Structure 1
Amino acid sequence: MSQIEVKIQTNDKQLISGYIPRYMISALNTIYQGIHLTYIELTVENIQFNSSHIFRGSSL
């Protein structure tokens, strides 16, 4: 059985301004594009994006 956990560390003000300080994803017993993963943990920091596109309904 696969398990996936996603954590987004931000607050409303940061998110509205287009900033996510930390994004974490972990997966247990997962198959991704034919690769069998017992456990994986990924962390991304200092994500910046143009938040005005989201509020207008445009794609990122």
Structure 2
Amino acid sequence: MYRRSVIPNVFVPKYYAGGKKDVSHCECSRQSILYVLGQLLPDKNISVETIETVLGGAKKCRFKGRVE
């Protein structure tokens, strides 16, 4: 079962095999957002910060992107 995150087409697994929830898996979502923004804006300095995640106990995943 999957929950849709704030960014379209980025999914966060609700349950993992064995019931193990590891917040480090959320780094993949952060890196995906960073990659997409980097491809769209190659001449910009981009950073993405994890605000909250489902695996961390939040109701939804939120990331903060900064483009300079």
- TM-score of the two chains, using structure 2 as the length reference: 0.32
Higher Cα Rg, which structure: 1
Give the helix-richer structure, 1 or 2. 2
Please identify which structure carries the higher strand content: 1
TM-score by length of 1: 0.35
